[in-house]
Structure 1
Amino acid sequence: MNLKTLLLGASSALALFSLANAETLTIATVNNGDMIRMQKLTDDFTAKNPGIELQWVTLEENVLRERVTTDIATKGGQYDVMTIGTYEVPIWAKQGWLVPLDNLGADYDVDDLLPAIRGGLSMDGKLFAAPFYGESSMVMYRKDLMEKAGLSMPDAPTWEFIADAARKMTDRANGVNGICLRGKAGWGENMAFLTAMSNSFGARWFDESWKPQFDQPEWKATLDFYVNLMKDAGPEGASSNGFNENLALFQQGKCGMWIDATVAASFVSNPKDSTVADKVGYALAPDNGLGKRGNWLWAWTLAIPAGTQKAEAAEKFISWATSKAYLDLVASKEGWANVPPGTRTSLYNNPEYQKAAPFAKMTLDSINSADPTKPTVKPVPYVGVQFVAIPEFQGLGTTVGQLFSAALAGQSSVDDALAQAQDVATREMTRAGYIK
């Protein structure tokens, strides 16, 4: 047997040994475009970390939330890395359910993370989840249809302007809806949109004594406005549409306007996916002149559940997926406009990104204008812009979302939906001890 044969045999044996001893990380994530793209690029990670294999569990948003919450609360241990959001991180960190991210590496540059995003993911100065992308919400609109309607979109529109424009842009005979908005029930689906919207109408979930406020005129004004606007200018079956469904409608040219996550900007302006890529404009989320806009603050993050036996490998993966180098990798494969947005100061200082992404400044301005500590016109006892940062909100928000989705579908009246929301919220907050 010659030396070459011996070396080849040793190399094969080593490869088999490495494979047999590889750690497999099970990663739960959401079926959004940026996460799907990440999965296609993970050969870069496994090449640099030959002892780590990746297994993906990719789920629709509402299902993901349900699965990871159940798993971490019951210490199920199914996942080594979880995709969770700004709502879960501080609550779960306080419960001791998450591993602090202390070893992301010397070149990770935690200080480069946008302060608004980093602050929501930290407790006692420690980072408990790393942001994969950050977002607020804004108006995306068809410039050609706006012009055809004889209108010009302001950088900072009012809800009155949006409603007028939506009705004028609607051309259902040609398959064009003036506006597409979330209707699918879920605390992070329709209630993310409606809670942020309600802030700009002067509404709030609870007063300073934790008494629910759905029986107040501000919520009535919000829900009436929303249901009537969608009836006049929204798509058929809107009560089933969440982020991904509205994204598809907009890309297919079936929406004049869409108010949703700033992260969608790269998808609606990408000519590979969007039939209207060269016709899209951007504006801040609307207001009513009360000092609050209808925009939210969110980050989809990667976190390590305390029950995993593979925390070291999991942190290596999280460091890779949320690093500056990952942004460079996406830029090299897909172009700068398609890198995950909203997480790093350096990205928004990058001239190449600014040139490639016409939505960059609007995204950053929207993120910076959302204040989780003062989300509403009137004072409130909670933090969170489009959610209330208490453990009970997840279940309560979804129940209220179902009531409001039914009102949108015409299965109940706005008044009935609000009355039921008031009842269920009062019952839940009393049961949980917030209302004495």
Structure 2
Amino acid sequence: MSITKTPYVRLATLACAVSLSTATLAETVTIGTVNNGDMIRMQALSSEFEAAHPDIDLEWVILEENVLRQRLTTDIAANSGQFDVMTIGMYEAPIWGANDWLVPMDNLPASYDVNDIFPSVRGGLSANGTLYALPFYGESSMTYYRTDLFEQAGLTMPSEPTWEQVREFAVALHDPANEQYGICLRGKAGWGENMALFTTMVNAFGGRWFDMDWNAQLESEQWHNALEFYVDLLGNYGPPGASSNGFNENLALFNTGKCAMWVDATVAGSFVTDDSQSQVPDQVGFAAAPKQVTHKGSGWLWAWALAIPVSSDAKDAAQEFVTWATSKEYSRIVAEEHGIAAIPPGTRKSTYENDAYLEAASFADMTLSQMQKADPNDSTLEPSPYTGVQFVAIPGFSGFATVVGQQVAGALSGNTSVDQALSNANRVVDREIRRAGYQD
């Protein structure tokens, strides 16, 4: 006996076929990003993007900063196409863009309002006038301090402290028996970890990476003074195992009330004042990043941004996501879900023209001030041949600066002397700069 399918069965079969066809046609966008709080939040909120774009599937690779940088650099240089979206910054974007490794960020919709992005951020992500990455958040560095501890000790934090003053405060507030440490600073080796902080310290002490003839300056008096100071300060008045601590580790220490002071990225402002993450949200003050013999280069300038490698086989879908994740619309979603103070900072002028944001984000004024002061074209007391505040904007810097970071971490942990660390570091830098042809 034959059975004739009813119209309902035929419709169900057709619907199933359409569903399978849609699933088959969905394009996968693989995103490589860093395990910072804002990026983890972006992943959580990306379900809204996927709901609006059922033809795009997002696949996330979230890595620790040093590992991410190594993976992305290897991938882009080999043109292997493992990632469709890369989280990079002001160091990589112009260099990789100039090499034609990244898709230009042009033809953006008018609603994106690219001119709302701070010029310094746009410029730092561009090469030859072309924008190669869209900023997720921008930052400088500043000093976080515990207002309650300062008040109890009768101390007053200046709005623009010197490193020497910071050391005096750290000595007074260091109480390791009660797990209260005078200061927390980056100690983990890496060109974007300890060397981001330490280079600004070298700048403040009047140092520079190179003189105008590209001779390495790491054995100079300024570098020596800065490293001796850093090792003494963090080694004696910081937490145990400081040479293993980067941004995330120090953020956790500060939020659990174990750091009297912390000098680091301004982006941490929303996390240290969030009572769902911090145990001391109402006891945090903000000051400029410390200066010493100069204020030049004492606070860094950086933006974590999203870029698309030319090796991607999902460029259009990737651009849809990158545009969404760095848009005003994304900021609105963050504000609705997590509060307006949590929106990604440091990228858009309109954010700092919003009275509601300025009222909710106690750190906003200092963030803006520090970003405006940072000048990549004039970051050292004596003239230098490079641009960049906490990095040198040349190919190869990430490689030799990582080695320098290892030497600095070795001095901090006591595995080598300050003199030997700087001698080793200077030799490596000088060799690499000669190989690259910067010296006559």
TM score, norm. by length of structure 1? 0.98
- Cα–Cα, structure 1 residues 129 and 243, in superposed 2: closer, same or farther, change >3 Å? same
1:139-193 Cα distance to aligned partner (Å, 9 max, x none): 0110011112211111111112111011111111100001000000000000000
In 1, distance between residues paired with 2:352 and 2:383? Answer: 33
Counterpart amino acid of 1:126?
T
Aligned to 1:49: 53
Q: Alignment identity in percent?
A: 56
**Of 407, 410, 413, the match for 2:414:** 410
Residues 1:13 and 2:17 are matched in the alignment = yes
In 1, distance between residues paired with 2:12 and 2:345? Answer: 45
- Cα–Cα, structure 1 residues 8 and 342, in superposed 2: closer, same or farther, change >3 Å? farther
Contact 1:227 1:408 in 2 (8 A): yes
Aligned to 1:171: 175
In 2, distance between residues paired with 1:293 and 1:433? Answer: 26
Contact 2:144 2:284 in 1 (8 A): yes
In 1, distance between residues paired with 2:254 and 2:9? Answer: 59
Question: Shift of residue 103 of structure 1?
Answer: 2.9
Aligned to 2:67: 63
Contact 1:149 1:165 in 2 (8 A): no
Counterpart amino acid of 1:388?
V
- Cα–Cα, structure 1 residues 7 and 361, in superposed 2: closer, same or farther, change >3 Å? farther
Contact 2:297 2:390 in 1 (8 A): no
Aligned to 1:264: 268
Between 1:39-48 and 1:326-335, the stretch displaced more is 39-48
1:369-408 Cα distance to aligned partner (Å, 9 max, x none): 1001111111111001000011110110000000000000
In 1, distance between residues paired with 2:6 and 2:361? Answer: 57
Contact 2:183 2:260 in 1 (8 A): yes
Structure 1 gap segments, 5+ residues each: none
In 1, distance between residues paired with 2:364 and 2:238? Answer: 27
Aligned to 1:419: 423
Question: Shift of residue 17 of structure 1?
Answer: 1.3
Contact 1:129 1:301 in 2 (8 A): yes
Structure 2 gap segments, 5+ residues each: none
Question: Shift of residue 18 of structure 1?
Answer: 1.1
**Of 140, 155, 169, the match for 1:136:** 140
| Aligned positions of 1:29-428 closer than 5 A | 29-292=33-296, 294-428=298-432
In 1, distance between residues paired with 2:128 and 2:97? Answer: 10
Q: Secondary structure at the match of 1:179?
A: coil
Counterpart amino acid of 1:122?
S
Contact 2:297 2:375 in 1 (8 A): no
In 1, distance between residues paired with 2:360 and 2:297? Answer: 27
Contact 1:26 1:78 in 2 (8 A): yes
Counterpart amino acid of 2:261?
M
Q: Secondary structure at the match of 1:300?
A: strand
In 1, distance between residues paired with 2:288 and 2:56? Answer: 42
- Cα–Cα, structure 1 residues 2 and 129, in superposed 2: closer, same or farther, change >3 Å? same
Contact 2:32 2:62 in 1 (8 A): yes
Q: Secondary structure at the match of 2:112?
A: coil
In 2, distance between residues paired with 1:112 and 1:6? Answer: 53
Question: Shift of residue 9 of structure 1?
Answer: 4.9
Residues 1:26 and 2:61 are matched in the alignment = no
> C-alpha root-mean-square deviation of aligned residues, in Å?
1.3
Q: Secondary structure at the match of 1:29?
A: strand
In 2, distance between residues paired with 1:386 and 1:108? Answer: 29
In 2, distance between residues paired with 1:384 and 1:293? Answer: 9
Between 1:400-409 and 1:121-130, the stretch displaced more is 121-130
Question: Shift of residue 5 of structure 1?
Answer: 6.3
1:248-292 Cα distance to aligned partner (Å, 9 max, x none): 110111100000000011111111111111101101101124242
In 2, distance between residues paired with 1:7 and 1:126? Answer: 51
In 2, distance between residues paired with 1:106 and 1:360? Answer: 27
In 2, distance between residues paired with 1:359 and 1:313? Answer: 35
Question: Shift of residue 10 of structure 1?
Answer: 4.0
Contact 2:224 2:418 in 1 (8 A): yes
